[in-house]
Structure 1
Amino acid sequence: MSTVTLHCIHDPLCGWCYAAQPLVGAALAQLGGRLALRLHGGGLFDEPRQVDAELAQHIVHADERIAQLSGQPFGEAYRQGLLAEDGTVLHSLPPTAAVLAAESLDAAMAYPMLVAIQDAHYRRGLRVAEPAVLAELAEEIGLDGASFALAWARADGHAVFEHVQASRRLLDEAGGQGFPTLLLEADGRRAPLQHHHYYGRPEAFVQMLAAQLPALH
């Protein structure tokens, strides 16, 4: 059976990546036996960014559009809490390191960790740049807390920096316009997927993707 790779260049704090969550999830659920997922965190907020009124307003307007197109929910704890609270900081590297840490413990847990981070941020309004929050999320998806803490400490530094730089190089090579960029790789060739046409239509996305997979033998 031929296996192809779906490359997802993303960021845990990117709203449009959250919009694509149902698409990627459906693809894995229905085509997982023939499709390998590779996550590439691009570091949208590679330096800590405090949320001020102007940034919060920009994010809220974008979220409204994302919800309209994708149907993804944004919780009150996020909209009225996290975005409105003084001292909220957006920093992509700690949650990206958490995805790397989960992957190092069990490759199959990388995507569930990303989903847990996205849901914690956008639905529950949690501060996903904080190590304690990330550790709790890791335990919620079934990872050992102590093992995760050690793996996260190893990843949160040079490793995550190198990962982000490699992800950005891949984005440039692919001619991607931002996050998320989805690439389908088969036989050493990568082709971009026009996933934005499928927001809110995961079944149609899966059908489009399935049509591009090599025939079963």
Structure 2
Amino acid sequence: MTATPVLHYIYDPLCGWCYGAKPLIDAARDILPVVAHGGGMMAGAHRRAVSAQLRDYVMPHDQRIAQCTGQPFGEGYFEGLLRDTTAVFDSAPPTTAVLVAEQLAGRGLELLGRLQTAHYAEGRRIADKDVLLAVATEMGLDVDAFRAAYAAMSGDVTQAHFKASRALLSRVAGQGFPTVVLEQSGQYQVIDLGPYLGKPEAFAAWLRQCAGVTGTDTIVSAPACGLDGCQ
């Protein structure tokens, strides 16, 4: 239990609406502690190989996200990655990388943001270990330490993290990704990001003036990805 407000961010690195909310999370990090919880949206049985069908399905959603949030989606993504049928969308490897960056340097959310940009703007394959190592190196993380920690935290550790994140999501009655929860004095309030999408300054102002938590019955209208894929 904490009297200091903490923002819990339940996300997935392959969730387009999480990418859309990235400026809000960046703004929040300047105001209060933000704890990331990866939900494993496209892990295990829900990982997907890129196909023409997948491209046709996700493109309209991504275009809507861009329109609603102003976040950039690059040609490397639309015309590169989404046409690369050798690529696989798998949430587990990038989530492991975020856990590693947090463990090594307290920079998990920073790595997440870089991976989101790498995926949606640059069209890089963030489920590939070599790409994860390259992004970690670009951030200045020690590549040997990163590689060793990544091996240790893959598999069971990441799966346990997914399980804990899903448990938190259930506890706060969250419906998908992203779910953002303000915790204070043992109470949890799910924040509706809908009014703030594309407006990080307004979100920051709201967080600064937020004096406390009133309950967990907030009605959330913001668009989100489902537990096992973007809808």
Normalising by structure 1, report the TM-score. Answer: 0.93
Give the aligned residue type for 1:71: G
1:19 aligns with 2:16: no
Aligned twin of 2:122: 124
Aligned residue among 41, 59, 65 for 1:44: 41
Matched, 1:7 2:4: no
Distance in 1, matches of 2:54 and 2:63, equals: 14
- C-alpha distance in structure 2 between counterparts of 1:213 and 1:183, whole Å: 15
Per the alignment, residue 66 of structure 1 pairs with 65
Q: CA deviation at 1:85?
A: 1.6
Alignment of 1:1-217 (within 5 A): 3-29=4-30, 31=31, 35-47=32-44, 48-107=47-106, 109-213=107-211
Secondary structure, aligned partner of 1:82: helix
Cα contact 1:4–1:213 (8 A) shared by 2: no
Tell whether the 8 Å contact from 2:10 to 2:39 is kept in structure 1 after alignment: yes
1 CA distance for matches of 2:128 and 2:73? 20
8 Å Cα contact 2:4/2:185 also seen in 1: no
CA-CA distance at 1:26 after TM superposition = 1.2
Aligned-residue sequence identity (percent) comes to 45
| Structure 1 residues without counterparts, runs of 5 or longer | none
Contact 1:19/1:72, CA 8 A, preserved across alignment: yes
Distance 2:154 2:70 in 1: 33
Distance in 1 separating the partners of 2:118 and 2:153? 21
Instruction: Supply the AA of the counterpart residue of 2:50.
Output: V
In 1: Cα distance, 2:153 partner to 2:115 partner: 16
1:99-151 alpha-carbon deviations (Å, 9 max, x no partner): 000111022x1111101110110011111011111011111112111111111
Letter in 1 for 2:102: E
Measured in 2, the distance between the counterparts of 1:131 and 1:18 equals 21
Q: What SS class does the counterpart of residue 177 from structure 2 fall into?
A: coil
Equivalent pairs, count: 208
Give distance in 1, aligned partners of 2:157 and 2:142.
Answer: 21
Structure 2 length as normaliser, TM-score?
A: 0.87
SS in 1 for 2:36: strand
Asked if the contact 2:28–2:34 (Cα under 8 Å) also holds between the matched residues in 1, the reply is: no
Verify the 8 A CA contact 2:115 2:126 in the aligned structure 1.
Answer: yes
Q: How far 1:213 sits from its partner (Å)?
A: 4.1
Q: Which has the higher helix share?
A: 1
- Compute the displacement of 1:3 (Å): 2.9
Instruction: List alignment gaps of at least 5 residues for structure 2.
Output: 213-231
**d(CA) in 2 for partners of 1:85 and 1:142?**
29
2:221 is aligned to none
